[in-house]
Chains A and B, each alone.
Chain A
């Protein structure tokens, strides 16, 4: 499991890759939560890029629920994008599709929350 970040203006794109299960959920939480500290109304928004995530178990989903609650408490936005088919089905069966706004691409999510970040993303894209 690997967590990396990229900044586009006021949006932080946090990418999780690999598998998240009960054995590394703590590690995922420790890697994810610090990125949410500046998230809130008038500050950063966070997009979770799950395009390289192969599997997420209930333990990982619980971390995402904690993250979503924390961001909501700060009036921030936390979006999920580019879920692989298996992860998308897990989100649907677990009803996490009701917890997260899900988009098909980073670009689509940025267009929804920050024109500034979208412009920065498009200027960096080949």
Chain B
């Protein structure tokens, strides 16, 4: 399975500021001072290999959208945040509008940041495309229709040329959808959210965002350990610090890097990818949280190593 992250930001899409760009350029030029970088390829190699990611790149600011590519003709997406716009453009650029496709979408929940990319999802505007929106919420269709209704958006849902279907999934049950095994799990979040365990070709990827954990509730914890068990990759809501998640932001429906590491260690997960970044955090802050989380995994490691990464818009992970 190849996982592509089209949107990784939590709660609200954000953009790097003019000041942020300037700071990166200053840092890059300072790092290059005294270096004999004369050709484009020398500069590119320097940028790629020697500058920290948070200086040479950005984690991006689109809200949640993750593609699960199993090498099939059908497309699989998790959530339709603003990252879905880029995915849609990518598909149109690759295949062109003349080649219809089927797009399966698995919705964690229907909060705005997870649906706001759909009005700008190009495949919805192409006749012949089929979009199947899967989820466990009873009002899934109503939410999407309401988002397209006046006065919020100029194109009514019924005028979208693609064939759009809604499929209700049962949490805790294993479903087979176009060759992909999918098991949803109820998560703690305002209005409920659902994580998805995807299995294909002997590989397991878990998408678990907008999910609060009560670390001292052993029963709930064990439920997530079972859900994550032996996964090759867990995409995990690590929006807050633990201190915030259990105090001022308790019951806000999100989790922390600490809980992510603990659950993945208990479940013997191979790779934890932190996701749904706090919109207030700039690239330097996200990189610093990643560094601390890598260290946490090291100092608390038993006989199992969990690889730690932090998702960015445009990232690809192959499992």
Contact = CB atoms under 8 A, between A and B. Distances in A.
Contacts of B221: 22, 59
B300 A22 contact: no
Given A55-B300, A86-B300, A90-B300, A61 B293 contact: no
A87 B175 CA distance: 42
A57 B259 CA distance: 8
A95 B300 CA distance: 17
Given A89-B299, A95-B241, A26 B216 contact: yes
Given A58-B259, A93-B292, A65 B218 contact: no
B246 A62 contact: yes
Interface residues of A, number: 26
B218 A93 contact: no
Nearest to B291: A93
B262 A93 contact: no
B243 A95 contact: yes
27 contacts: A22-B215, A23-B218, A25-B218, A26-B216, A29-B216, A57-B258, A58-B213, A58-B242, A59-B216, A59-B218, A61-B215, A61-B242, A61-B243, A61-B246, A65-B243, A65-B247, A89-B295, A89-B296, A89-B299, A90-B296, A90-B299, A93-B295, A94-B241, A94-B243, A94-B258, A95-B242, A95-B244
A89 B294 CA distance: 12
Given A22-B217, A92-B292, 7 more contacts: A25-B216, A58-B256, A59-B221, A62-B215, A89-B296, A95-B242, A95-B244
A96 interface: yes
B217 to A, nearest CB: 8
Contacts of A22: 215-218, 221, 262
A26 B214 CA distance: 12
A99 B216 contact: no
A7 interface: no
A94 B256 CA distance: 8
Interface in A29-43: 29
A63 interface: yes
A55 B262 CA distance: 12
A59 B244 CA distance: 14
B243 A99 contact: yes
Interface string A10-27: 000000000001110110
B257 interface: yes
A23 B194 CA distance: 25
A62 B217 CA distance: 11
Interface in B100-144: none
Nearest to B218: A22
A69 B246 CA distance: 11
Nearest to A23: B218
A84 to B, nearest CB: 11
Interface of B: 213-218, 221, 241-244, 246-247, 256-259, 262, 292-293, 295-296, 299-300
B204 to A, nearest CB: 23
Contacts of B218: 22-23, 25-26, 59
A86 B299 contact: yes
B271 to A, nearest CB: 19
A58 B258 contact: yes
Contacts of B300: 55, 86, 90
Contacts of B217: 22
A47 B246 CA distance: 21
A99 B247 CA distance: 10
Contacts of A29: 216
A69 B248 CA distance: 11
A38 B208 CA distance: 42
A27 B146 CA distance: 48
Nearest to A65: B246
Contact of B243 (A21, A26, A96): A96
B124 to A, nearest CB: 41
A26 B241 CA distance: 22
A86 B216 CA distance: 20
A86 B218 CA distance: 23
